[in-house]
Each structure stands twice: as structure tokens, then as C-alpha cells.
Amino acid sequence: AIIPYILSHLHKKELTQSEETTKIKALPLYLKIFPWYLLIFAMLSVTIHGATGVYLKDFGDIGTVFKFFTALTIPAALYYVGAGIRLSDLKKDEMKKL
């Protein structure tokens, strides 16, 4: 969660120090928010379970909502990782470099 924030912050500093005055956003908003959501979701769930010993089945129907957010986290993480891949990264020359 910290790495995208730091990269975004450093990129903004480079833009202000450079001669270009055009405003370029380093990362879209959803890419800035998701790592924090992922980090907070995991830490909060471990903290709640450790402090209270509750399970999702103890919540009844609300447990279904929590399961939904848990299931949403994995595809969102894959999208987050895939969003950083540009079409130019998939060229034959770039693949040979790997």
C-alpha cells in the first residue's frame, strides 16, 4: 500500500521540478485507494478475530456481505496488478528481455 503512494508522490515532485507544466496524474484514484483497502481489510479482520474470537458464521446474514467483500478482494487485486501492464510491455522485444 505504501509503494504506490510513494511512487505517486515522487512522480509529482519530478513533475513540479521539471520544465513541463502540464499536469499529469501519476496513478488513477482507484489505484491509490485499492492498496490501502487491501491492507486495512486484512489487518482489521485479523484484529477483530484475534480480539473477539468471532467467525463469519456468527454474523448470520451480514457474514454473507463480508464473504462478498472477501471474494471481491482477489479479482480486484488481480486487476490492480494487471492495470500496471501497458500494451508496449507485451511486445516481442520486451518479452525477450524477460
Predicted confidence at residue 7, as pLDDT, reads: 60
C-alpha cell, 50: 484475534
User: Closest Cα to residue 26, out of 44, 8, 10?
Assistant: 8
Q: Please state whether 33 falls in left (phi above 0), alpha (psi between -120 and 50) or beta.
A: alpha
Below-70 pLDDT ranges, the chain:
1-28, 30-31, 80-90, 94-95, 97-98
User: Closest Cα to residue 12, out of 23, 28, 1?
Assistant: 23
Predicted confidence at residue 13, as pLDDT, reads: 56
Predicted confidence at residue 59, as pLDDT, reads: 80
Predicted confidence at residue 92, as pLDDT, reads: 72
Predicted confidence at residue 33, as pLDDT, reads: 75
Predicted confidence at residue 88, as pLDDT, reads: 66
